[in-house]
Amino acid sequence: DIKGGTWYPEGGMYAVVEAMVKLATELGVQFQYDEHVLSFQLEPNATPLMWRAPYTGTGHIRSVRTSKKTYQADVIVSGADYQFTEMQLLPPDYRTYSASYWDKRVMAPSCLMYYVGLNKKLKTPIHHCLFFDEPFGPHGQEIYKDPKWPTAPLFYVSVASATDPNVAPAGCENIVFLIPVASGLTGDTDELREHYFDLIVRRMESHLGEEIRSSVIYKKTMAVSDFQKEYNSFKGNAYGLANTLMQTAIFRPACKSKKVSNLFYTGQLTVPGPGVPPSLISGEVVAREVQKQFQKGAFKPF
């Protein structure tokens, strides 16, 4: 970051997603939206002609049943939460990792987030700002050592409209507030969310020297329970596994199932790790692994 600088995609982070979808569609990829995966049809392993070597493991997936239809599949790449795919979609005999394995993992933080629109421009134009105006130690303890809702949290603010006028109406501001919190917390009620919003906005107003709260015309929140509901995120985590020594590199959950021959995993819970760039890299890693296992010419290129 110091040498290369910080880069911003015009149109916001979602512009990256839109560009990837556009490119994939041009290459023939078909997308199906608003379908929940309900189950896999699994069969004991045989030695199909499609593979370089016989299937290993317990079995393989023949089809995927969703809330709308059933899809026949040669290979499954799950970009969903790893723990959810294993524990909710696979029978016990087909799981690589047990429930106790997941319970022992050290999770990265979750988040309490606020997506806010202001009907004015801030006098001080800031895009990225980390508020370390409270001691880090207590907040860190409340995330990892003694998980609880923080007393005096540090927080991050992104005002993308300070850089990109296209992400907010003219004369308005687009702000995201983020408070790191422990994964697995409960009780993120409307009252609790409002308490923390008032707390961090007051601190931001104090530092910037201008009033913010009365200019809010839009607000949406995202908390632990929302990560669980929207993404089936294990313990409501937002960043996958913590980057501890024993959860790094080969010690992370493998990108290929040991029990289901044609099931692969991508995303922040497998290699190389959490964050948008590592998650994208995990897709490249898995694509190469899938290509290795396919016999040349057996299926259409993908």
Q: Report the distance separating Cα 105 and Cα 209, nearest Å.
A: 43
Domain, as residue range, for 119: 110-231
- 96-119 in b/e form (b: 16+ CB < 10 A) is bbeeeebeebebbbbbbbbebbbe
Tokens of 181: 């919190």
Q: From CA 66, how far away is CA 78, in angstroms rounded?
A: 14
Does residue 73 sit in the same domain as residue 95? yes
Tokens encoding 92: 């016990």
Give the per-residue pLDDT at 45.
Answer: 79
Distance in angstroms (rounded) separating the CA atoms of residues 10 and 12? 6
- Looking up residue 281, the CATH number of its domain turns out to be 3.50.50.60
* pLDDT surpassing 60 at residue 102: yes
Per-residue confidence band for 250, with pLDDT thresholds at 50, 70 and 90: very high
pLDDT tens by residue, 26-82 = 999 999 999 999 999 999 876 554 544 445 578 999 999 999 999 999 999 999 999
Q: What is the pLDDT of residues 141-178, one digit of tens each?
A: 999 999 999 999 999 999 999 999 999 999 999 999 99
159 within some domain = yes
Q: Domain check: are 116 and 206 in the same one?
A: yes
Average pLDDT across the chain, whole number: 92
**pLDDT tens by residue, 192-235:** 999 999 999 999 999 999 999 999 999 999 999 999 999 999 99
Alpha carbon separation from 176 to 7, 26, 78 (Å, rounded): 17, 33, 29
Confirm if 257 and 56 have CB atoms less than 8 A apart. no
Asked, as a colleague might, if the bond just before 272 is cis with ω within 30 of 0, I would say yes
Specify if 16 maps to a domain: no
pLDDT of 227 reads 98
Q: Is residue 250 part of a domain?
A: yes
- How many domains, the chain? 2
Question: pLDDT class for 292, splitting at 50, 70, 90?
Answer: confident
Examine the domain organization and report whether 176 and 257 are in the same domain.
no
Residue after which a domain boundary falls, among 204, 231, 258: 231
Among 181, 202, 231, residue at a domain's last position: 231
What's 216's domain CATH number? 3.30.519
Q: Going by C-beta distance under 8 Å and a sequence separation of 6 or more, which residues neighbour residue 255?
A: 264, 265, 266, 270, 271, 282, 285, 286, 289
3-state secondary structure string, 127-183? CEEEECCCCHHHHHHHHHHCCCCCCCCCEEEECHHHCCHHHCCCCCEEEEEEEEECC
- Residues 190, 257, single domain; the answer is no
Q: Which residues pair with 294 in a beta bridge?
A: 51
What does pTM read for this prediction? 0.90
Instruction: Please answer whether residues 274 and 240 qualify as being in contact, where contact means their C-beta atoms are separated by less than 8 angstroms.
Output: yes
Q: Is residue 301 part of a domain?
A: no
Q: What is the DSSP letter of 252?
A: S
